Structure 1
């Protein structure tokens, strides 16, 4: 007995394949339709570019901060950038700056001492639509390599933005700091620097602390005046606005600081020795004056001697048949 096996025609499989392809296409189109809507939070602005297989890559639109849902186009590409004030920190405190680990700007003073500069750079991204479009054309279409060796776009979250700042903005800051620090001597900025330089009167010729602060303020003002113009010249436009740099601290290299500490300790020992010499001179002068007074008044010397007798001494006999014994109470014999 033979079993009959029903066979479906090739047309059936073709229809089934076409239906599956149509379903997949419909789901893809639906997903793309959903993805074609986007919005921004309060702290970001978005540049929307055309996408898709057959579309160009030109900028389609700009979405301002805190927007509602906007149509970005099928397969559109959205680049989001920070719209609020941002900052870039240079600090020796590990893991607190924008670079991992300890990070300071090392630059020489006018007298050749390497100095460590710490500070914070504040700025905002220019949100003008034309300017932000130019910014995306210049910097959003390329990648930047971070300290970890990974390439990122400027719009790839905080890491991407920090990598962009580190490669493009940080060199401008470093250059401005070197130019300004190079106009001052080490002691003009850190008074203790005078202790380790070739100056026999260094202890008394260091720049006062208030003068140091004034010089640091001058450097900060000069940087703020030049930094925005330098950034425009480097980037090609006013992409960054409200630029301000706060110079937080100027430090000496470890070996120089160690020398300063040793010099300060040595000066402290010298001061202590000078104080002992001054005390000895004062004591000698007092003794000489006292002796002169005794010569004029011999009885005064004896009086001072009596005053100097400790209370536990019962008999004092300086010689020459002279003795003093404190009296003791007597009692009458009983009758």
Structure 2
């Protein structure tokens, strides 16, 4: 009878196929549970008092259409599994165009430059006030038109309109700003430079800007203010209509334009400053001439009085003597005590 030899290795253990299946199934179930929990807890959203949310489906087997619109200041709202919420500003917003770096929507100096009817390149500064139309149907259309595409900012980066303030400003720069510029160009082109900026008359009369030297331009500050108000009113009338036509819907409400300032080009402004300085020098010289003439007339009248009253002249002389003088001797044989 032979004895089996010991190989030195432990015998193999065979795991039943059912046990392997249970482990794999448990792992898959755990993954599915985690994914489901993330989807469920991520399926709730809410808005603050200053924003409105447009919810789009985003599930694995769902479409990407707008599911619902969450009004401003909502409570926790069920938006569906894996849905995405595009949030837009719901309160009044403004778009500022200004030469004051840091105050406008764009970084640095931002002025709309457009020519007047006589060819002077004027700088326009102002602010547009508006509010989004919060109607759910309108917001759905707005998100379909603009929330599904990116816009390139002046820094070269692409952003969606709902991507914080930077994305919203990029959208306004790309879509709204051209309409504003066009409205201002149309209105400003109907006025001459001096009709909007009084100081422009100073240089136009000297043909600095290329105006007709034979036609003197008269500055009228009161009329300038009236004309600026006309430009502002005209823009307020045309801008809502133009935005509706260009954007394809009534997406903005309460549109109001406030024209804050009209400026001249730097070269023209320098000419204005020189002209004002020259006029100031002329005025000063004319004042000196008038003063000298007045003094001459006074001396003439005074001399006529002395001719009629020689003693009066001596009295005035004595009055004009410096204090402390005790004797005044106008001639060799004449001495007049001063006290």
TM-score (norm: length of structure 1)? 0.91
In structure 2, stretches of 5+ residues that fail to align are 1-5, 208-212
Whether 1:190 aligns to 2:197 is yes
Shift of 1:182: 1.1
Q: Which residue of 1 aligns with 2:171?
A: 164
SS of residue paired to 2:52: strand
Task: Please identify runs of 4+ aligned residues in structure 1 that moved more than 3 A.
Answer: 5-15
What is the 5 A alignment of 1:294-333?
Answer: 294-319=306-331, 321-326=333-338
Q: Which residue of 2 aligns with 1:245?
A: 257
SS of residue paired to 1:117: strand
Q: Does the Cα contact within 8 Å between 1:45 and 1:81 map onto a contact in 2?
A: yes
CA offset digits 1:181-238 (Å, max 9, x no partner): 111121222211111113599xx96433332222111111111011000000100111
Segment drifting more, 301-310 vs 130-139: 301-310
Segment drifting more, 72-81 vs 164-173: 72-81
Q: Which residue of 2 aligns with 1:82?
A: 89
Report the Cα distance in structure 2 between the residues aligned to 1:42 and 1:253, rounded to whole angstroms: 43
Report the Cα distance in structure 2 between the residues aligned to 1:8 and 1:210, rounded to whole angstroms: 103
Shift of 1:273: 0.5
CA offset digits 1:11-42 (Å, max 9, x no partner): 34554333222211210111011111111111
Q: Which residue of 1 aligns with 2:111?
A: 104
Segment drifting more, 48-57 vs 6-15: 6-15
Q: Which residue of 1 aligns with 2:15?
A: 9
Whether 1:39 aligns to 2:39 is no
Q: Which residue of 2 aligns with 1:49?
A: 56
Report the Cα distance in structure 1 between the residues aligned to 2:137 and 2:233, rounded to whole angstroms: 30
Q: Which residue of 1 aligns with 2:72?
A: 65
Q: Which residue of 2 aligns with 1:257?
A: 269
Which of 274, 291, 294 is 1:279 aligned to? 291
TM-score (norm: length of structure 2)? 0.90
Whether 1:142 aligns to 2:142 is no
In structure 1, stretches of 5+ residues that fail to align are 328-335
Report the RMSD for the aligned CA atoms in angstroms. Answer: 2.2
> Structure 1's 190 and 21: CA in aligned 2 closer, same or farther, altered over 3 A?
same
Segment drifting more, 58-67 vs 312-321: 312-321
Report the Cα distance in structure 1 between the residues aligned to 2:222 and 2:13, rounded to whole angstroms: 99
Report the Cα distance in structure 1 between the residues aligned to 2:40 and 2:12, rounded to whole angstroms: 42
SS of residue paired to 1:191: coil
CA offset digits 1:101-141 (Å, max 9, x no partner): 11111111112111111111110111111111111111111
Report the Cα distance in structure 2 between the residues aligned to 1:5 and 1:85, rounded to whole angstroms: 79
Q: Does the Cα contact within 8 Å between 1:192 and 1:206 map onto a contact in 2?
A: no
**Aligned length, in residue pairs:** 326
> Structure 1's 253 and 7: CA in aligned 2 closer, same or farther, altered over 3 A?
farther
What is the 5 A alignment of 1:170-249?
Answer: 170-199=177-206, 206-249=218-261
